[in-house]
Amino acid sequence: MAKYFPIFLDLEGTECLVVGAGEIATGKAAQLLKYGARLTIVAPRATQQVLEWAKQGRVRYHDREFQESDLDGKTLVVGSTDRAEVNRRVYEVARSRNILANIVDVPELCSFIYGAVVERGDLQIAISTSGRSPAYAAHLRRELEKQFGEEYAEYVDILGQVRRAVREAVTDLEEQKNIYTRILQMDLLSLIRSGRKEEALKAALECISPSSD
């Protein structure tokens, strides 16, 4: 079993390919679209959702079998057909071209795998069992979703604003770290939960002032 390197990719504007257009492939395609991929889908038949995306111009859909040329110019491919020989061919051609490939539910034919992800705004917590137990990864995701509520989206937004302000106001890296430590020790989440986000932001920004030393 491969040991996967955890990484977050910027797919905005990246050319990606999905081979297959059944329900599972459609779900994988939806995830790629969510993150801004420029998506091509190849399959003899497609779900209504894929046809609708094609009609809207959100994807390029080719109603035919996979061809090696479909991988031209692609950075990433997901294969999810009901034919094992097609899936293997997609993987082998992709690997020969150093294109990231995921054949759904076949870990040995994957150069990357999908993790179970908790999303709260810009906060992302990704969970993986390296393909050994997707069900357990999904279970852990549900547990973390209970622990990390929607307030964490606003919390991370505040931290981002404060980070920009700190970098503009303070040049010393050690002092920057000290400020971040003080902010993280504050109970800003309680303020956010009570609907006082602006007050939380103000309190965090006050840590930048020399008077906070």
Give 181-210 pLDDT, tens digit per residue: 999 999 999 999 999 999 999 999 999 975
Q: What pLDDT is stored for residue 210 in this prediction?
A: 54
With DSSP H G I counted as helix, E B as strand and the rest as coil, what are the percentages for the chain, rounded to 5? 50, 15, 35
Per-residue pLDDT tens for 123-147?
A: 999 999 988 898 999 999 999 999 9
Tokens of 160: 């981002």
Tokens of 123: 């906060």
Write the CATH number for 43.
3.40.50.720
Q: Are 6 and 64 in contact (CB under 8 A)?
A: no
Q: 192: domain range?
A: 151-212
Task: Say if residue 191 is in the same domain as residue 180.
Answer: yes
Residue 6 in any domain: the answer is no
Q: What pLDDT is stored for residue 213 in this prediction?
A: 44
Residue 3 in any domain: the answer is no
Provide the 3-class DSSP secondary structure of residue 145. Answer: helix
Task: Say if residue 56 is in the same domain as residue 143.
Answer: no
Q: What pLDDT is stored for residue 110 in this prediction?
A: 94
Residues of the chain with pLDDT below 70 are: 1, 210-213
**Total count of domains within the chain:** 3
Task: Say if residue 28 is in the same domain as residue 46.
Answer: yes
Q: Are 38 and 14 in contact (CB under 8 A)?
A: yes
